[in-house]
Structure 1
C-alpha cells in the first residue's frame, strides 16, 4: 500500500530584519512545487494578506536563508497538511495563478 503524500507545509516564519512595526509571517508551502503559495503578515495585532510580490519575496528569503525548509519543513516548526488552511484561501481565488499581479487579482474580484 502506498503512503499518502502530504501536499503542504504551514507555519510561522519570524522576520529576520528589524521593522516597525515588528512583523511575523505565516506561510503555506506547496511541497511538490517547492513554492511559497500563500502568506500573511502579522502586525498591529492582526493578520494581513501578503501581496503577490510579498509571497515571491518570501520564496526568495527562504531559498537564500533556509533552503532545507522545502525538504524538512518540520525541522523549522512547520506542520504538514493535506490542504491549505482556510486563512490561505480567503484573500485569493484558488488555485492561485503563479505570476499573476495584485492588479490582475483585484480586476478579477
Structure 2
C-alpha cells in the first residue's frame, strides 16, 4: 500500500514574489514534504532540486503549526 499524503497549497516562500502559487504533498506518517510544484509558464512544474530543498525545509519548520493533529 502507498503512503498517505496530505495535499494542498502553501504561501510563497519568496517575499519578492508573494503571489507565487505552490502546491505540496506531505507524507502523513513522517510529516515530511515529498512533492513541491510551482505554477510557472501556465503549468504546474516541479521545483529545481536546490529550490525544492530550500522550500521543503521552510515548510518542515512550520508544519506543526499547520497540522493540528499530527
Q: Which SS does the other structure have where 2:16 is aligned? A: coil
Structure 2 alignment gaps of length 5 or more? none
Q: Paired residues, what number? A: 66
- Contact 1:36-1:56 within 8 A present in 2 as well: no
State the secondary structure of the residue aligned to 1:53.
Answer: helix
Higher gyration radius (CA): 1
Q: List structure 1 segments (4+ residues) > 2 angstroms apart after TM superposition.
A: 51-56, 63-69
TM-score scaled to structure 1, two decimals? 0.47
Provide the C-alpha distance between the structure 1 equivalents of 2:16 and 2:64, rounded to a whole number of angstroms.
Answer: 22
Name the structure with the higher strand share.
2
TM superposition score normalised by structure 2: 0.67
Aligned-pair RMSD on alpha carbons?
Answer: 2.6
What is residue 19 of structure 1 aligned with on the other side? Answer: 17
- Indicate the structure with greater helix content: 1
Local SS of the residue matching 1:55: helix
Higher relative contact order (CA 8 A, sep 6+): 1
